[in-house]
Amino acid sequence: MKLILERANPSLLAKVVQKEDGFRAVPLDDRLLFELDLEDKEQKLETAIDHLVHVSVLRYPIAQYLPVGEVTKVLGSDAEEAADTDIVCCKHDLLREFPKDVLQAVADLPTEIPPETLAARRDLRDLLTLTIEDDQHLAESNATFVENAFTLEKTDADKWKLGIHLADLAEYVPEQSPLDRWAKKHGTAVFLGDTTIPLFPPALMEKLGLTPDGDRLTISIFLTFDDQGKVTEFEIVPSVIRVNHSLSYQKVQHLLSSDEPADKSLRTTTELLNNLIFNLSPLVKAQRLQRGGFQISLPEVTSAFKDEGRFGTMIVSPSLPVRSLLSEVLILAGRAVAEHMIALELPAIYCYQAQPDFESLENLIKLGGNLELELKLESEEELLPHDYQHFIQEFSKSDSTKILNYLLQATLDSPRYGTHPHPHFGLAYRDGYTRICSPGQRYGDLVMQRILKYVLTEGRDRRSSRVKNGVNLGSNTCHDKVNWKVIPAAKQAELEETVASLILQLNDQEKVADDAEKDLQGLKKAEQMKAHTGHTFKGLITGVQSYGFFVEIEDLLVEGLVHVSSLKDDWYEYRARHSCLVGRKNRISYRLGNTVEVEVKSVDYYRQQIDLRSPKVLMILRLKARSLTSLGKRNKF
């Protein structure tokens, strides 16, 4: 006997129709296959007939009885009239309003930092400190937290010492508080184009965000580099900072490209940026490339997070080179924290990315071969990050670089959370990585911040009280000295239980956010394609099966299927060895790497489905925004 504890789909999008026995909701997607009887308590459903609505399921099907639902929101006369963000939020049950207790918890936060709190922290207020965000981020009232600041200085040994300062949310969001419970339930912020569904209320950002209007509590991670760009030492400390300048990526690029800053007060700032961007970052990048790390250039796709984000690897936009350079150092901060947790045998939330399977790459390697690219693997036993690095170099030789990079990204699995260190393929780390830089946008980062703070403030820094001098538990210099339990056994067990209980929830919420963001991309592309009805595009054949072939339109990164039944001019045979369809009579072949022309015939906006045709064929193209992880799932068509 099995007991259903929770339904996966508590709501859905539907169209209202009227039947003899009342009103029904006809689902627009496949999450629930039954029509729903609708309750009409306020006698308003007559005005919603044939409209797109959001329906909350009150009772699921029982025997011969249909499920029962209630309309919670009328979105529009049809999908195209509804706001795309409304559609996505309703489809994925994303809440855009915070409950009263959460808002009250923000209002109750202290406005001043107690002197005893300042005294217990390292004072970094005299260091030149910068934040760097994009223009849109800085301008929007509902933007995500400005939660990272940077300092850079030279040590007495003439080495670069980079300070990465993270907003200390753990100081203000205690466990089991209303803010904590809300953040734990939702897991991550969601980025829907110009709209952000934040993890915490915007008012919290105004109080705790790293802005140039006063002192801010932070957790600082100092990375010391040798002359080759390798981290030789790191230190993690609770601190207090004062931001001097809040810059945009565009402003940074302007300062670096100008002979003289427009504002003379920015001379020292420009010098810091020059050292960070032109002296340190290239060395760090060289270290990443040496270990096998790779980055994929996709001009239209950028991560909302400054680290690898939901993509699992560095996505580079040529228009924002400064952003990718900051990602380099923020990823190093996550790596340093992982090394620290492993060395001290502390509980942690690790982030890993599984190795892709050969099947996901097989078709892409054949495609590259037909485009006269040399896509060879270093080993026949396993895929390596170096292989992807090599593929990206080869793709740059092709006229279809954009498509090939896009298809390569699609072969990568989504990153996941776990309680033990595992390899992270996209970042080329074999023995552990953590996310740490976004405690205001990811709940897992906030939990990691709490664990670090506990270790730094309550951890045992010596084997026994008889030992005069303790070690620095925030520095990697203690790794070979600590041979005792840093935290009490009871606390260790408590933290391990806390971390283990969070993993499933965090992974589920990451998937919800990822699906929602990709759904919005799909709707945007469907809307764009609607405007191109009747237009002709060139596409690249990226897959061939016995039932037809797939075409990718490069300008829009849209994939479609030409079904073999639509090829009326001949009988086509599938030749698996050569991955092609060949006509028996006319000997016309459709093979990987061929270019074909297609015309947009019609668009179904909600289902993101587009009809295309060429002078000879008609094909149905399912626009998926191509969730960069579903390339291998051809059977969906």
Q: pLDDT value at position 139? A: 52
Average pLDDT over residues 627-637: 40
The residue ranking higher by pLDDT, 576 or 419, is 419
* 625, pLDDT greater than 60: no
CB 605 within 8 A of CB 496: no
Tokens 């909302």 belong to which residue?
Answer: 304
The residue ranking higher by pLDDT, 511 or 20, is 511
Q: pLDDT value at position 374? A: 92
Per-residue pLDDT tens digits for 299-339: 766 667 889 888 888 777 766 778 888 888 999 999 999 99
Give CA–CA dist 268/129, Å, rounded.
Answer: 11
**Residue 421 in tokens:** 């260190």
**Residue 419 in tokens:** 């309680």
Q: pLDDT value at position 316? A: 76
Q: pLDDT value at position 240? A: 97
Q: pLDDT value at position 346? A: 97
Q: Is 438 helix (H, G, I), strand (E, B) or coil?
A: coil
Q: What is the pLDDT confidence band of residue 631, given thresholds at 50, 70 and 90? A: very low
Helix (H), strand (E) at residue 575: strand 572-575
Q: What is the pLDDT confidence band of residue 635, given thresholds at 50, 70 and 90? A: very low
Percent of the chain scored above 70 by pLDDT? 91
Q: pLDDT value at position 99? A: 95
Q: pLDDT value at position 101? A: 96
Q: What is the pLDDT confidence band of residue 614, given thresholds at 50, 70 and 90? A: low
Per-residue pLDDT tens digits for 49-105: 889 999 999 988 888 888 899 998 898 887 777 888 998 998 898 988 999 999 999
Beta bridge partners of 613: 599, 618
Q: pLDDT value at position 7? A: 73
C-beta atoms surrounding 442 within 10 Å? 28
Q: Nearest to residue 136, comparing CAs of 195, 213, 84?
A: 195
What is the per-residue burial (b if ≥16 Cβ within 10 Å, else e) of 19-57?
eeeebbbebbeeebeebbbbeeeeeebeebeebbbbbeb
Q: What is the pLDDT confidence band of residue 624, given thresholds at 50, 70 and 90? A: very low
Q: What is the pLDDT confidence band of residue 185, given thresholds at 50, 70 and 90? A: very high
Per-residue pLDDT tens digits for 263-285: 667 888 888 988 988 889 889 98
Q: What is the pLDDT confidence band of residue 260, given thresholds at 50, 70 and 90? A: low
Helix (H), strand (E) at residue 510: helix 489-530
312 phi-psi bin (left φ>0, alpha ψ -120 to 50, beta other) = left
Q: pLDDT value at position 137? A: 54
Least confident piece of the model among 48-57, 309-318, 542-551, 582-591: 309-318
Domains of the chain (ranges, CATH numbers)? 11-82 (2.40.50.700), 100-264+294-354+413-523 (no CATH), 524-636 (2.40.50.140)
Q: pLDDT value at position 5? A: 62
**Residue 231 in tokens:** 């981290």
What is the per-residue burial (b if ≥16 Cβ within 10 Å, else e) of 499-530?
beebbebbbebbebbbebbbbbbbbebbeebe
* 21, pLDDT greater than 90: no
* 619, pLDDT greater than 60: no
Average pLDDT over residues 582-592: 87
- pTM of the predicted protein model: 0.90
Q: pLDDT value at position 143? A: 53
CB 419 within 8 A of CB 496: yes
Q: pLDDT value at position 615? A: 47
